[in-house]
Amino acid sequence: MKQHTVAILGATGAVGTQMLQCLDEQDFPVGKLKLLASARSAGKAVEFRGEQVVIEEACPEAFDGCDIVLGAVEDDLAKALLPEAVKRGAVVVDNSHAFRLDPDVPLVVPEINAEDIKWHKGLIANPNCATIIGLVPTWPLHKLAGVKRMVVSTYQAASGAGVPGMRELEEQLAALGRGEQLPDPRAFAAQLANNLIPQIGGVKEEGFTSEEMKLQNEGRKIMHLPELRVNCTCVRVPVLRSHSESITLEFERDITVEEAREALAAAPGVKLVDDMDAVDAQDRYPMPLFTSDQDLIWVGRVRRDISNPEVTRGITFWCCGDQIRKGAATNAVQIAKLLTEE
| Closest of 248, 224, 262 to residue 109, by C-alpha | 224
Taking the C-alpha atoms of residue 336 and residue 81, their distance in angstroms, rounded to an integer, is 18
Which has the higher per-residue pLDDT, 219 or 203? 219
Amino acid identity at 216: Q
pLDDT tens for each residue of 283-299: 999 999 999 999 999 99
Instruction: Report in angstroms the alpha-carbon separations of 268 from 54, 136, 238, 303, 304.
Output: 36, 8, 29, 21, 23
pLDDT tens for each residue of 144-200: 999 999 999 999 999 999 999 999 999 999 999 999 999 899 999 999 999 999 999
| Residue 301 region by backbone torsions, left for phi larger than 0, else alpha for psi between -120 and 50, else beta | left
Is 243 an active-site residue? yes
Residue 298 φ/ψ, nearest 5 degrees? -85, 135
pLDDT tens for each residue of 113-160: 999 999 999 999 999 999 999 999 999 999 999 999 999 999 999 999
Catalytic residue among 97, 120, 142, 243: 243
Q: What percent of the chain has pLDDT above 90? A: 97
Mean pLDDT within 262-281:
97
Is 224 an active-site residue? no
User: Positive or negative, the Cα torsion across 247, 253, 258, 264?
Assistant: negative
pTM higher than 0.85: yes
Catalytic residue among 22, 66, 97, 129: 129
Which pLDDT score, from 0 to 100, does residue 155 have?
Answer: 98
Instruction: Report in angstroms the alpha-carbon separations of 28 from 2, 97, 99, 281, 336.
Output: 10, 25, 25, 36, 9
pLDDT at 342 over 80: no
Q: What is the DSSP string of 53-87?
A: EE-EE--GGGGTT-SEEEE-S-HHHHHHHHHHHHH
How high does pLDDT run on average in the chain?
A: 96
Q: Cα–chain-centroid distance for residue 79? A: 20
